[in-house]
Structures are given as C-alpha cells and as structure tokens.
Amino acid sequence: MATWCFADTWVEYAEGNVTYFARHDPVRAVVFPVIALEAILTLALLAGWEFCRRKRMSRSPALHLLFLAICLPPCGIASVAILRAAPFDLAPLVQARWFWPAAFLVGAAPLAWVCLRPIRASRMVRSALLYSWPVLILVLAQAIRVSLLFPASAYTDGVLAARLSPHTGGIRVVWIVFDELSQAVAFGDRPSGLALPNLDRLKSESVYASAAESPATGTELAMPSLILGERVVEAHTAGPGELRIALQSRTDSVSWSSLPNIFDTARQLGVNTAAVGWFHPYGRVLNRSLTKCYWTAGALPPGIEEPFEPRPLIADMWDRVGMQIVALPLVGHLPGMWPGRHDLEAKLPRFAFLRERARDIVADPDIGLALIHLPIPHPPMIYDRARGTFTTEKKSYLDNVALVDRELGVLRRAMEDAGVWDRTALLVSADHGWRTGLWRKTAIWTAEDEGVSHMDTMGVPFLVRLPGQTSGVAYSKPFNTLLTRRLITGILRREVVDAGAVAALIEAAKSR
C-alpha cells in the first residue's frame, strides 16, 4: 500500500525518459525522500494494524470503512500513473465534462455495496494489495534498470572548454532565445493594452523579420536544430548527458554532443563562448564547446519533481507529501490545491538564477558568443504586468510577454553599462511560437489567453541589430530560423556588416 501511494514516481522512472532532463541525481533528490516516506507509512500501518489486533477490533465495520477510506489515496495515485503510462492519450477522456458524472453513476452501486458490506470489501481490497506485489516488483526493477543506475557523477556538468585570449574590441554576438514567444502576439497582432517598449525600440533599430518560422514546435527538437544549423527530426534521451538525434540529412541517429555546432565554429574563430539556458542540460551536452555555462532543468512530471537546489531530507519529504496530495484526482480542483502551483513556485528561483547569470554573461567583454535561452514567456506565468512584480497567482500569457520586454531592457542596460553595447550584434528570437492547442487543455489557461489565441501564434520573432545600427529595416518574406548558425558565423567573420548583408544571407539560405 505504501508503494502504491508513490506509484507515479516509480512509473515515471520505469518509462526511462526523464534522466536527461534532471538537474540533480534523482536517487538523492527524489528516491531517498520517497523511500523514507514509504518506510514511515509502512510503520504507521503496521502499528495501526497491531493496535487493532490487540484491541480485538477486527470485526468492527467502522474500522474496515476507515481502512477503505485510507486506500483511496494509493488508488488515486495509481490511476494517475496508469493514465500517464498508457500507450495512448487518455487525458481528453478524463477531461470531458461528462466523465466525472458518468464515473459517479457507474460507481454508485459499488459504493453502496461497500457501505453495506465493509468487511467483505475490506478483505477484497487487502487481497488486491497483497497480490499486486509482482506488478510493483516489475515496475521497480524497470525503474532501477533504465533510470536509477546512473552514478551521481553523471548528473554533474562536464569540463568546460579552455578560455581563449580574447580579441580586445572585437565584434561579439549575443543570441537571446525567449522560449515560446509568438511573433503575432509580440508584434504582428499585438493585443491592445500590452506595452512592449523595449521590443519596439529594438525593432526600430534592427532588421525585423515578420514571417520567420521555427524548425520545430517544441524545445526538444528546436534548440538542437538552431545550434547545429540543421533540422533535427527526432530525438531520444539516452541518459543524463546524451540526446540521440536524427537529422533530416541522414537516416541514422547520432549523439547531439558529438556533432560540430555554432559554438565550435566560434571557438575556431578565436571567440570565447557561453550559454545560459534551461530545459536542455547544456552543461552536460555542450560543455566541450563552451567557456562558461549555466543552466536549470525544466519542470519534471508529477511524482519526480526535483528541487532547484539540494535540500535536507526532511524538507524534501515534506514537499513530496504536498505534491502527492495535489496529484490526487479531483483534489487539485479544490481552492489552494492547484497541481501546477509547485511548477510555478519552482520556476521563480530558477528564473532568478538564469536572469542573474544572463546579465553577467552579456556584460562580459571576453565572451564573443553568448546564447541566452530563457524560460519566458513559456508557461507557467510568473509575472503580473499590472503591478510590475513577480507572482504565484494565476496570470495570462500576455503577462509573461511583458516580462520578456522587461528582461530585454535589463540585458540591454547591462551591456550598455559594461561598455560593450556598441560592439555587440544582438539577435532576438524564439525556439517556437505559442502552442495554444497545448495549453488550452490545462488549468493555467485564462480568459485573457482565450481572447487573444484565435490567430496564428506559431510564428517566431526574428530581430538582428548589428553594432552601430540605428535604423530599422523590415523583411517580410517567410524563412526558417535554421539559418541562425550561418548568420552568427557571418557576423563573427565580419561578412555580415549591415542590414543589406543580413537580408542577402536570408535570401541565399532560402535558395539552398
């Protein structure tokens, strides 16, 4: 019974596709707290059983009803785990309006029988729990085999590349990727009342492309594609530090870390490189190509959430109890029990860490190429644009777009204050657009989101400001942002020196 209370944890690890995205060793961050809680729960159940046995309460209907009530949490967690492990998506079925009324009607008769025959029902449930051990053994064995056998050292960042002697006064490139920023919302069909002064200012002095398309609809494929300059059509995680990818140009899969990337090219040109990002473990995958690297993980699935930083075991256990409670079916609909609140609260320190490192990197005169991949405006929303403050309240996509504008201004001021703005080429884009079809199904969706979502939101912004550029140039023809690597290389080689050269490079890339 104690193990079934954490079935979602073991099923996620048995699925075997989560270690790549974990920042910390899951044995320490997740498994130890779960096992400790299972041990405490087991001891409590044994103590309760022994107490009732000694008091000769085994024939009490009330006691058996209490036992059946105690069995509801593990049954709920098991149902959640089964839904996530199913080979096909059952979420639309469960989220349908008629599902819970139908479930109540179907369950009314069994519930009445349980109330009338609690002792017999209790024995049946105890037998089901007792004989479920083969299933649990198989799940646990699979979890250990595919996810939990990696050593703790596999989750540490690799050795960074040696620092090169910088070319004083040389041109530098800062490449900012705002995750899930929509061209339509930010520029093309911006909703009234959404003020974005820093983006507008950058647009007025940049090459502004209004019809750019991303190479993929998700970060897992899009970021490797952009960094490699070649479309990644498939990706499979293969451990904490390896992503196996299939390229459009070849049929076999290869390790992302084994392929030459834009940072390798920059280093060949004598440029120090840096990355600040999230989602992908840049410090484990691209470390050989980077002089500096800071990254945080994305939100892991329910049951295996990890803390931002290692914490004492007791604190981790307490957090795990709360997360298991809100993971129960229907409980998350109660006031203050929203399941997504943990992801929202966890995002705040992660974002604070990234924005501070991003400021340092963009202002470092020795860094010639910096990738800043920030988790905004990607949900969950952490900003209240009306108050201008961070928040854990439910907000809309537009609030996080306003945060994008604010952070762009902060990064620009950091470069201006450091005296590197005039020799910096700034490229601002996104890995993919706003996936309204994905987020509309979730609890984070708001009425404001619905009001602005009925347009094509999958296009991405693409702005390039070259050193010394003071006037804006519009480019309205469609193209794919896969050319980003070629563009950055051209800037670093001083082959792309003005707006006309940017447009010519885009045209040349389209003709290939």
Look at residues 128, 155, 182 and tell me which one is the last residue of a structural domain. 155
Q: Is 500 exposed, middle or buried (0-12, 13-18, 19+ CB in 10 A)?
A: exposed
Over residues 67-75, mean pLDDT: 89
User: Is 289:374 a contact under the CB 8 Å cutoff?
Assistant: no
As beta bridge partners, residue 272 has: 367
Its domain, for residue 54, covers 4-155
Same domain, yes or no: 462 and 355: yes
Same domain, yes or no: 134 and 30: yes
Instruction: Please report which residue ranges of 205-281 form alpha helices under DSSP H.
Output: 219-228, 262-268
User: Is 430:177 a contact under the CB 8 Å cutoff?
Assistant: yes
Q: For residue 487, what is the domain's CATH number? A: 3.40.720.10
Task: Read off the pLDDT of residues 25-56 as tens digits, 9 standing for 90 and up.
Answer: 999 999 999 999 999 999 999 998 888 888 88
Same domain, yes or no: 481 and 444: yes
Look at residues 155, 182, 210 and tell me which one is the last residue of a structural domain. 155
Task: Read off the pLDDT of residues 76-130 as tens digits, 9 standing for 90 and up.
Answer: 888 888 777 766 666 566 656 676 677 778 878 888 888 888 888 888 999 999 9
Same domain, yes or no: 47 and 115: yes
Residue 23's alpha-carbon distances to 30, 94, 282, in angstroms, are: 12, 31, 11
Question: Residue 160 falls within a domain, yes or no?
Answer: no
Question: Residue 244 falls within a domain, yes or no?
Answer: no
Question: Residue 306 falls within a domain, yes or no?
Answer: no
Distance CA 366, CA 223 (A): 24
Question: Residue 317 falls within a domain, yes or no?
Answer: no
Strands, E assignment, 167-289: 172-178, 207-213, 232-237, 243-247, 253-255, 272-278
Distance CA 511, CA 170 (A): 31
Strands, E assignment, 337-475: 367-374, 383-384, 389-390, 424-429, 460-465, 473-475
When pLDDT is cut at 50, 70 and 90, the band that residue 511 belongs to is: low
Q: Cα 2 to chain center, whole Å?
A: 29
Domain count, the chain: 2
Same domain, yes or no: 84 and 28: yes
Tell whether the model's pLDDT for residue 512 goes beyond 80: no
Q: Cα 179 to chain center, whole Å?
A: 10
Same domain, yes or no: 414 and 493: yes
Task: Read off the pLDDT of residues 262-272 as tens digits, 9 standing for 90 and up.
Answer: 999 999 999 99
Same domain, yes or no: 196 and 142: no
49's CB contacts (< 8 A; 6+ apart) are none
Same domain, yes or no: 143 and 194: no
- Which tokens go with 483? 């050319």
Residue 30's alpha-carbon distances to 33, 145, 147, 306, 311, in angstroms, are: 6, 16, 12, 6, 11
User: Residue 325 belongs to what H/E stretch?
Assistant: helix 313-327
Same domain, yes or no: 192 and 121: no
Task: Read off the pLDDT of residues 359-376 as tens digits, 9 standing for 90 and up.
Answer: 999 999 999 999 999 999
Question: Residue 181 falls within a domain, yes or no?
Answer: yes
Strand order across the 243-247 sheet: 232-237, 243-247, 253-255
Say whether the peptide bond before residue 377 is cis (omega within 30 degrees of 0).
yes
Over residues 383-407, mean pLDDT: 96
Same domain, yes or no: 120 and 188: no
Look at residues 155, 185, 211 and tell me which one is the last residue of a structural domain. 155
CA-derived radius of gyration, the chain = 26
Nearest Cα neighbor of 166 from 292, 50, 339 is 292
Same domain, yes or no: 279 and 417: yes
Q: Which pLDDT score is estimated for 89?
A: 62
Same domain, yes or no: 179 and 148: no
Over residues 435-443, mean pLDDT: 89
Question: Residue 311 falls within a domain, yes or no?
Answer: no
Question: Residue 272 falls within a domain, yes or no?
Answer: yes
Question: Residue 207 falls within a domain, yes or no?
Answer: yes
